Amino acid sequence: MTPAGSLLVASALRKSYGPTPALDGADFSIHPAEVVAVMGPSGSGKSTLLHCLAGIVQPDSGTVRYDGRELSSLPDRERSALRRGEFGFVFQFGQLVPELTCLENVALPLRLSGTGRKAAEARAAEWLERLEVDTVRAKRPGEVSGGQGQRVAVARSLVTRPRVLFADEPTGALDSLNGERVMQLLTDAARDTRAAVVLVTHEARVAAYSDREVVVRDGKARDMAGAA
Amino acid sequence: MSIGHTLLGLLESGPRHGYDLKRAFDERFGHDRPLHYGQVYSTMSRLLKNGLVEVDGIEAGGGPERKRYAITDAGITDVAQWLAQPEKPEPYLQSTLYTKVVLALLTGRNAADLLDTQRAEHLRLMRELTQRKRGGDLADQLICDHALFHLEADLRWLELTAARLDQLGKAVRA
């Protein structure tokens, strides 16, 4: 797939931690509303790729362009604003604030962007319903199951209507049935809102929810659309 | 598994007699199912008829089993096409895939590309099944899940083999 019309494009990314290169000339691109699975063995550099794409980690060299803007040239403040407003994140676990209720957790990104409590919680409630976990709105993360907690996390990642959702092993801590349901809900919601999804996973059944897959091996990314 | 392509691939390293081909096949791929001599000779006469092999020499006083076969250019092209073409993903493909990987390594072709091509084909079918599952009832979902779990097992094997290609390359060339 060519980068033309892409929302997020990375070129020739290199990043080393000590003497070991985690990324060694990786390229990547994603279109709006596209779900791309990033696969590869452990330690191949897939999480580093996600972190560079999201502007969390600065590559040693290479570029990441989001909607025509180069991430590394943006001041920290603007990059943070971008991450808060236009990017959403779902990780394997540990992303909800334990002291807040599930509803407050989902409303949090809106509150941080200046939305009033009432409006933020109303939107959060809609997302909890959409992810089929409105029954746990008053509970704290420690009081809900793993599958429910992960759906709350997905609701929180999408409540700001991000244009890119970064999901790093989003079903890694769930059993098959819960994992499948989370993937269905996540990809349905992302398609409805036309969010692009960068989905890091080592599970083929999770990757099967994507439109195409990229395999990271030895720090390089191969687009498998051209392999078959 | 295509015995014809496998025998052709084994001929790429140099001409061999039929009995020699059978021994090479059994040693590498026969495991619990060695080839019958009859299979070797019927396969070789078909390959000969199709111009994929030629008779390189006949030992004096010998019957058909004393023929020495050599692969032709058309035969080499045929092996290359077979190796490059992904298999239709279905359960229990391992013996065919294993044979292809070993032949690619033996003949100096890119075994990693072969595995990647097959991997993409597997994931393409897994996507189709996932899509069908989303729109289906519980029965569809269970049937698709069964196929998905089998394909996933194959895919894991492909990944593991890709990670061990260097090791396997050394072993088959030893």
Nearest to B65 by CA among B124, B14, B4, B18: B18
Co-location of B91 and B75 in the same domain: no
Q: What is the pLDDT of residues A28-77, one digit of tens each?
A: 999 999 999 999 888 888 999 999 999 999 999 999 999 989 988 888 88
The confidence score (pLDDT) of residue B66 equals: 80
Same domain, B72 and B152: no
Residues from chain A contacting residue B129 (CB–CB below 8 Å)? 208
Digit-coded pLDDT (tens) for B11-40: 999 999 988 999 999 888 877 678 888 889
Count of domains in chain B?
Answer: 2
Q: Which residues of A touch B114 (CB under 8 A)?
A: none
Are B171 and B101 in the same domain?
yes
Of B66, B85, B104, the residue at which a domain comes to its end is: B85
CA-closest candidate to residue A128, choices A145, A164, A104: A104
Q: Where are the beta strands (DSSP E) in A31-127?
A: 35-39, 61-66, 69-70, 87-90
Judge if B35 and B104 occupy the same domain.
no
B106 and B70, same structural domain?
A: no
Domain check: are B32 and B64 in the same one? yes
Measured in angstroms, the CA of B13 and the nearest CA of chain A are apart by: 28
Last residue in a domain, options B27, B58, B85: B85
- How many Å from the N-terminal Cα to the C-terminal Cα in chain A? 13
Q: In this structure, are B46 and B118 located in the same domain?
A: no
Say whether both B113 and B72 belong to one domain.
no
Cα-based angle A142, A145, A150 (whole degrees, multiple of 5): 90
- Residues B92 and B174 placed together within one structural domain of the fold: yes
Higher pLDDT, A10 or B1: A10
Cβ atoms within 10 Å, residue A120: 22
Q: How many CB atoms lie within 10 A of CB A174?
A: 22
Distance in angstroms (rounded) separating the CA atoms of residues B11 and A166: 50
Q: What is the ipTM of this complex?
A: 0.84
Q: Is the dihedral of CA B6, B10, B12, B14 positive or negative?
A: negative
Residues B107 and B166 in one domain: yes
Residue where one domain finishes, among candidates B67, B85, B103: B85
For chain B, list residues whose CB is within 8 angstroms of any CB belonging to chain A: 86, 113, 116-117, 119-124, 126-127, 129-130, 134, 148-149, 151-152, 155-156, 159, 163
Distance from CA of B20 to the nearest CA of A (A): 35
Band the pLDDT of A2: cuts 50, 70, 90.
very low
Chain A residue with CA closest to B155: the answer is: A204
Q: Is A127 exposed, middle or buried (0-12, 13-18, 19+ CB in 10 A)?
A: buried
Domain that includes residue B108, residue range? 86-174
B68 and B22 co-located in one domain: yes
CATH code of B59's domain: 1.10.10.10
Q: What is the mean pLDDT of residues B133-161?
A: 90
**Of the candidates A215, A222, A200, A218, which has an alpha carbon nearest to the alpha carbon of residue A56?**
A200
Q: Among partner residues A204, A210, A222, which is closest to B155 by beta-carbon distance?
A: A204
Query: Across the interface, which of A204, A210, A228 has its CB nearest the CB of B152?
Result: A204
How many angstroms separate the CA atoms of A174 and A176, rounded? 7
Give B5 to chain A, closest Cα distance, Å: 21
Interhelix angle for B94-106 vs B165-173, to 10°?
Answer: 70
Query: A227 and B119: CB-CB below 8 Å?
Result: yes
Q: Is residue B30 domain-shared with residue B56, that is, in the same domain?
A: yes
Chain B CB contacts of A207 below 8 Å = 123, 126
Q: What mean pLDDT do residues A211-224 have? A: 89
Residues of B in contact with A222 (CB under 8 A): 116
Contacts (Cβ under 8 Å, ≥6 apart) of B125: B89, B151
pLDDT at residue B133 greater than cutoff 70: yes
| Largest Cα span, chain B | 69
Rounded to an integer, what distance in angstroms lies between the CA atom of residue A170 and that of residue A179? Answer: 8
